């Protein structure tokens, strides 16, 4: 046993990644080694580590062809510091943990939620510790600010605004193969301003809000831009809505002049508080900051509580995942920049980040000339980013009246299983008949196609039901990617790809959406939304609902319509039954959901599935593809639902007539 100057056991450490930011770890190791706390016993890098770089640290062993695992085994290292490119974190972290070493993992922990969960699983399996290198979370200023918020001195908290403006030379983005990249050699990197240099900004704001673990984030809005010729964002703003309703905005840039310290402002009804997280300054009082490696050593020696365990970064990883899955950043035209020989500058961008933090606003909401979003249809977007003359939403009309908006490129968090949706949908009289992201189920998106389990991928959103555990958060969310439109009378035909959480294609879909008037002899003023889909799988698979996994009655999955609740709540009936208890699970060609303001008559054309119905808890209706047993799909699954949308409350007789008229009209529309 090696003895330190205090007689305590010296903790043996290996450093993976001795260049770049690894220099700061070497300096920290010198200080802790001088105090007899650690001994650097090994270094690991893709190139030999020069001796002068290791000055004062003895003669640590360098890695051999057996790599990091062999180095840990030979040296008996108890802790591995992992300071390597982001896209290597998961593989090396799992390697270190399985080799029996605790881990100090640089931020961001991983380049995807899937990789984050791989690391988390290895932590659980090994029983070892993983401390994440968010240094700002070791500051006593964070709990001090949380205590201030909890005291009520700031009043009701409206939100937290974060601002960061730094200058980075052009060679910052060429310092390594992965710099400024979103992907490299087919693997995610996600090295943008939001997720790497200013990762502490978002992580600190989430910590101050007490929203650090998975499930704390309800949604993320992103505006990603780049002035430099890179893939990733060098200038970006984001709005994070937390599950408890509070808001965090983040506005950052690497295209300012000089450097000011980034900060966050907590906005309360009775006052504000400002934390400069790089200097631990909370409203003029500087707080101490713990050394994360020293804290990890104490954890290994004495069981002291970790300051930044991996679980504490779960919400940040949900934010990073939203950035990863977002469309590529939009370029900022040269005309909006000052292009210096060695760097690019956006005039006034520092003040813009300040205004964002003050107003809790995105760049586009502050009228920045270059902050053009895809939804605006303007700016420098390429044909790849914006299809010609198409906005992110399409309007459907009947008789010249706009009756529905189809959002085909949604800005949604990954946990919503992002997908195109119809909202708002209106009666001819203007009453809205859809609800979008309600508080009770934020992944309910108006009307559209959502399936709880397609070959193990969640295309419904929210938690996944697991037999024996109930609803749990899993990294299994997919998304439906719009590929192309074909114009047809009354609407469009759309091609989509259904992607799994790792980006692999699970299925392809051809969807037809039409808005059409009912025949002239149909009773009362109404129109019909005709929604048909053909889902072709890449290989045979099963579609399952939560009911298939042991949750009785939870057969949801397929075409689904979330309606507004209203004061009294709607009523539901078919031609044979009435009320949620009798209609839920029944097989009837049509079903009506009616209120005093509006009525919806759903008609299954062709194959008839059982109806999934909710009225008491919330108003929602849809045919259930896998009511209580899995649905095997070997090639193509086809379904068609026509929904009659009418003003006022319908009775059974009129609803039946409208259902018949809608079904008859499908022949003309085919």
For 397-464, what is the HEC assignment?
A: EECCEEEEEEECCCCCCHHHCCCCEEEEEECCCCCECCCECCCCCCCCECEEEEEEEECCEEECCCCE
Please, which residues have CB within 8 angstroms of residue 83's CB and are 6 or more apart in sequence? 15, 16, 17, 18, 20, 21, 22, 25, 106, 133
Query: What is the domain partition of the chain in residue ranges?
Result: 11-136, 142-283+317-369, 405-669
Q: If one looks up domain 11-136 in CATH, what number appears? A: 3.40.50.720
Per-residue pLDDT for 449 more than 60?
yes
Q: State the average pLDDT over residues 101-129.
A: 96
pLDDT, residue 670, reads 52
How far apart, in whole angstroms, are the C-alpha atoms of residue 493 and residue 491? 7
Phi, psi of 146 (to 5 degrees): -65, -40
* pLDDT tens-place string over residues 166-223: 999 999 999 888 899 998 887 889 999 999 999 999 999 999 999 999 999 988 999 9
- Evaluate whether 268 touches 260 at the Cβ level (below 8 Å): no
Q: With 60 as the cut, is the pLDDT of residue 387 above it?
A: no
Residues 286-292 have a mean pLDDT of 98
pLDDT at 376 over 50: no
**Confidence (pLDDT) at 406:** 96
Lowest mean pLDDT among 186-195, 347-356, 506-515, 561-570: 561-570
The pLDDT score that the predictor gives to residue 644 is 97
Q: What is the mean pLDDT of the chain?
A: 91
CATH topology of domain 142-283+317-369: Dihydrodipicolinate Reductase; domain 2 (3.30.360)
Residue 378 has a pLDDT of 35
- Go through the chain and tell me how many residues it has: 670
Q: Which whole number is the average pLDDT over 467-473?
A: 91
Percent of the chain with pLDDT strictly greater than 70: 94
Give per-residue pLDDT as tens, 74-91: 999 999 999 999 999 999
Helices (H) and strands (E) in the chain, counts: 11, 39
Burial label, 181 (beta-carbon count in 10 A; 0-12, 13-18, 19+): buried
Look at the alpha carbons of 643, 646, 648, 651 in this order and tell me if their dihedral is positive or negative.
Answer: negative
pLDDT in tens, 509-540: 999 999 999 877 666 679 999 999 999 998 99
Please tell me the least confidently modeled range out of 164-168, 206-210, 479-483, 560-564.
479-483
Per-residue tokens: 658 = 């409208």
Task: Please report which confidence band the pLDDT of residue 665 belongs to, taking 50, 70 and 90 as the band edges.
Answer: confident
Please state which of the ranges 92-106, 362-376, 402-416, 421-435 shows the lowest mean pLDDT: 362-376
Domain 11-136 identical in fold to domain 142-283+317-369: no
**Which pLDDT belongs to residue 383?**
28
By the 10 Å C-beta count (0-12 exposed, 13-18 middle, 19+ buried), 524 is classed as middle
Angle subtended by helix axes 89-98 and 113-126, to nearest 10: 10
User: pLDDT tens for residues 246-282?
Assistant: 999 999 999 999 889 999 999 999 999 999 999 999 9
Residue-wise pLDDT for 400-435, tens only, equals 899 999 999 888 888 899 999 999 999 999 999 999
Q: How confident is the model at residue 382, as a pLDDT?
A: 31
């Amino acid at each position: 046993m090696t003895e330190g100057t205090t007689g305590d056991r010296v903790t043996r450490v290996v450093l993976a990644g001795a260049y770049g930011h690894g220099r700061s770890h070497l300096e920290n190791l010198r200080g802790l080694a001088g105090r007899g706390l650690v001994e650097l016993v090994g270094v690991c890098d893709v190139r030999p580590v020069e001796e002068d770089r290791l000055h004062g640290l003895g003669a640590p062993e360098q890695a051999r062809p057996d790599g990091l695992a062999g180095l840990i085994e030979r040296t008996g290292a108890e802790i591995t510091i992992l300071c390597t490119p982001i896209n290597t974190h998961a593989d090396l972290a799992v390697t270190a943990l399985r080799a029996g070493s605790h881990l100090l993992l640089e931020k961001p922990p991983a380049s995807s939620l899937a990789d984050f969960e791989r690391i988390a699983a290895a932590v659980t399996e090994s029983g070892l510790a993983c401390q994440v290198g968010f240094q700002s979370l070791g500051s006593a200023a964070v709990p001090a600010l949380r205590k201030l918020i909890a005291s009520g001195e700031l009043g009701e908290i409206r939100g937290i605004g974060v601002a960061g403006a730094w200058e980075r030379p052009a060679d910052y983005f060429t310092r390594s193969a992965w710099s400024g990249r979103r992907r490299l050699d087919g693997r995610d990197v996600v090295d943008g301003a939001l997720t790497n240099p200013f990762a502490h900004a978002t992580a600190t704001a989430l910590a101050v809000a007490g929203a650090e673990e998975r499930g704390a984030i309800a949604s993320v809005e992103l505006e990603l831009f780049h002035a430099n010729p890179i893939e990733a964002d060098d200038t970006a703003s984001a709005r994070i809505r937390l599950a408890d309703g509070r808001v965090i905005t983040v506005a950052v840039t690497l295209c300012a002049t000089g450097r000011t310290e980034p900060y966050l402002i907590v906005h309360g009804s009775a006052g504000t508080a400002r934390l400069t997280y790089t200097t631990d300054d909370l409203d003029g009082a500087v707080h101490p900051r713990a050394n994360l490696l020293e804290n990890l050593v104490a954890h290994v020696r004495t069981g002291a509580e970790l300051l930044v365990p991996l679980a504490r970064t779960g919400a940040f990883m949900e934010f990073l995942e939203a950035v990863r899955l977002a469309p590529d950043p939009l370029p900022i035209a040269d005309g909006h920049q000052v292009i210096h020989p060695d760097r690019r500058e956006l005039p006034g961008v520092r003040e813009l980040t300040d205004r964002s933090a003050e107003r809790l606003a995105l760049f586009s909401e502050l009228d920045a000339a270059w902050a053009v979003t895809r939804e605006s249809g303007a700016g420098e977007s390429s044909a790849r980013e914006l299809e010609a003359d198409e906005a992110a939403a399409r309007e459907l009309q009947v008789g010249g009246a706009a009756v529905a908006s189809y959002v085909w490129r949604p800005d949604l968090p990954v946990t919503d299983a992002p997908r195109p949706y119809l909202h708002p949908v209106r009666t001819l009289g203007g009453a809205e008949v859809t609800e979008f992201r309600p508080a009770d189920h934020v992944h309910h998106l108006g009307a559209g196609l959502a399936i709880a389990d397609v070959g193990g991928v969640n295309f419904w959103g929210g938690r996944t039901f697991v037999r024996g555990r109930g609803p749990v958060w899993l990294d299994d969310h997919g998304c439906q990617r719009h590929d192309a439109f074909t114009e047809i009378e009354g609407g469009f035909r759309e091609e989509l790809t259904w992607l799994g959480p790792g980006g692999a294609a699970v299925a392809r879909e051809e969807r037809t959406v039409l808005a059409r008037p009912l025949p002239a002899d149909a009773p009362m003023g109404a129109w019909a939304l005709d929604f048909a889909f053909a889902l072709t799988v890449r290989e045979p698979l099963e579609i399952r609902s939560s009911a298939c996994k042991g949750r009785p009655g939870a057969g949801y999955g397929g075409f689904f319509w979330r309606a507004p609740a209203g004061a009294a709540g709607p009523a539901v009936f078919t031609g044979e039954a009435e009320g949620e208890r009798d209609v839920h699970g029944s097989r009837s060609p049509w079903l009506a959901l009616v209120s005093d303001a509006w009525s919806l008559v759903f008609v299954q054309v062709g194959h008839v599935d059982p109806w999934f119905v909710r009225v008491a808890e919330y108003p929602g209706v849809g045919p259930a593809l896998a009511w209580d047993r899995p649905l095997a799909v070997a090639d193509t699954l086809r379904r068609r639902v026509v929904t009659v949308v009418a003003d006022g409350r319908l009775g059974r007789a009129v609803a039946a007539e409208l259902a018949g008229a809608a079904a008859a009209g499908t022949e003309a529309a085919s």
